[in-house]
Structure 1
Amino acid sequence: MKFFAAAAALCTLVAAAPLAPWEVMAPPPDGTQFYQLQTKSATAAVSGQWVALKTGSTTYSLAAQQAAATKFFVNKYAPTSTFAVHNADDTRQLALQGPNGVLLSLVDATNPTTDSIPKGTLMEWATFTMDNNVLFVKDGSTLANRTFVAVKGSGSDYGIALYDGKYSVNERAYLPPNDSQGASTTASTITPVTINIVKA
């Protein structure tokens, strides 16, 4: 497993790029278990929503109807007990990407490698966990308060991102203040969510 490391405030965010430790199988064989991802939140507007990929987009967003939800399958990387989460076939993976460690958007990446990470961007994949049917990340970060969040877009649209949790985020839309202590800031309105894994 290769690693790409980037400093993020007081922690190190490690992005993994496994060299396909599983057998190539695009598309997956008959009988493969598929999953969909559904949000849970104390904020009604983003609770019970489904993770979906709009046509022509590479960034996942929330959809109200399960029929719009993307179907995923997983491959486990035994040395780290983490999962690659694939969309449609094993060339496409869920990844987390952003210009810094504050908000890493959930994106669709095709054959990601450390060489294909856009300049000035942090990116990681195959670092997901599925404990108790909840999606999360195990990437070596020491930040204890990270959480997935719904990120308010235009109109009623929401994206999904991993927030570094450097500020205490309540269950309402939240805009962290700017400060000179190296604490995280973001210009996006975010709402914490849990992402549940549902068998499709």
Structure 2
Amino acid sequence: MKISNVEFVISAVRPNQYPDDALPEFALAGRSNVGKSSLINRMINRKGLARTSSQPGKTQQLNYYRVNDRVYLVDFPGYGYAKVSKVQRQQFGEMIETYLSEREPLKMVLHIIDIRHAPSKDDVLMYDWLKHYGIPVCVVTTKADKIPKSQWPKHVKIVKEALGFRPTDRHVLFSSETGLGRDELWAVMEGMIAESEEEAAETEEVSIE
């Protein structure tokens, strides 16, 4: 996708704060410090729009980024960070569950996994959660530049086996440093956007008839 316009819109914590323009939404979920902000910056070709931090747990809301006035990237709070209080973890969980179970414009969750490490229990729980709600998911194994290319298949296999990865889901190997996987990931999202636009057009035709 050629990026012509990107805007940070809002940090939302409640449904009444979510944008109401019904653009397709793609949420990014992953454990703290997995590189979600870096991935967003690479996807939109902006170095600092999504703020990266060496301090895990910094993102505590749903951060909305509007791209080309056509789609939203929604950055979730990172999960699994021990120093976040139990109350905060519960609040994050409730906020994310509400979003996942009720947000109609959500088209897919990009589940971000560090390819260097086997998925954590929280990663597996998140994946199972997405399957429970029937939400399309693309597993994005990032930080691919940190290990030799020859080791990619081995590490991808470990990730997929630990998650119980379904063949119907998508997977993209990614590097925020080199841009590996950027075009492929946009193509996945473009496909979902096209499907939603076709469904909307069909619904409109039926209502007119």
TM-score under structure 1 length normalisation: 0.27
More strand by share: 1
TM-score under structure 2 length normalisation: 0.26
